[in-house]
Amino acid sequence: MTAAQQQRKYINEAKERWKTNLHEQDRFQPVIPKQKIDKRRVEERTKLGMSSILVSIANDRPVKETDPDKILEAICEMLQVSVSRVLSGRRHKELVFARKLFFYVCRNLLNFSLNQCGKLMNKDHSTVIHDLKKLENEIQYSEYAFQKLVMLKINLGYS
């Protein structure tokens, strides 16, 4: 089985487990228009779903990556963008998405403070807060964002 096939298999398993876990725990909430979102519910659902799936995705777990530079390189490789472009501050969609993923990993997986996350990208802590909120919405409503986050966690060893 090729790496791409294995990643697709993991993603499909993750989606099924996420749906199943949410239904079993009576926490399923149908998708509703963005202006009517209860943010606490979205955060709870996202954290609950992601943590429960990723715990059980893979039996063979690689060593967890903790070096921010290597994490940024992994994100850039996955999204096929260069590190220098991500650090440049340009506002192209794929570059902004890479920064959001980096902030998510630093904040939620490495337990960095908002200031520490921001300093790594020469951004303010308020930018980190904004990007994390935007990424949570994207994960909720975008299949692409959810798949990329799951793949990134698997590649970094946080599955």
The maximal CA–CA distance of the chain, rounded, in angstroms, is 44
Q: Is the pLDDT of residue 13 over 80?
A: no
Q: Is 31 in contact with 141 (CB distance < 8 Å)?
A: yes
Put simply, whether the predicted model's pTM sits higher than 0.75 gets the answer no
CATH superfamily of 68-156: DnaA protein, C-terminal DNA-binding domain (1.10.1750.10)
Instruction: Quick: pLDDT tens for 53-94.
Output: 444 444 444 568 789 999 999 999 999 999 999 999 899 999
**Could you tell me the residue ranges of all domains in the chain?**
3-56, 68-156
Q: Is 45 in contact with 22 (CB distance < 8 Å)?
A: yes
Alpha-carbon gap, residue 155 to 159, rounded angstroms? 8
Instruction: Quick: pLDDT tens for 119-137.
Output: 999 999 999 999 999 999 9
- Structure confidence at residue 14 (pLDDT): 72
- Structure confidence at residue 12 (pLDDT): 76
- HSE-up of residue 158 (Cα within 13 Å, Cβ side): 17
Mean pLDDT to the nearest integer, 140-145: 92
Helices 143-156 + 68-79 axis angle, to 10: 140
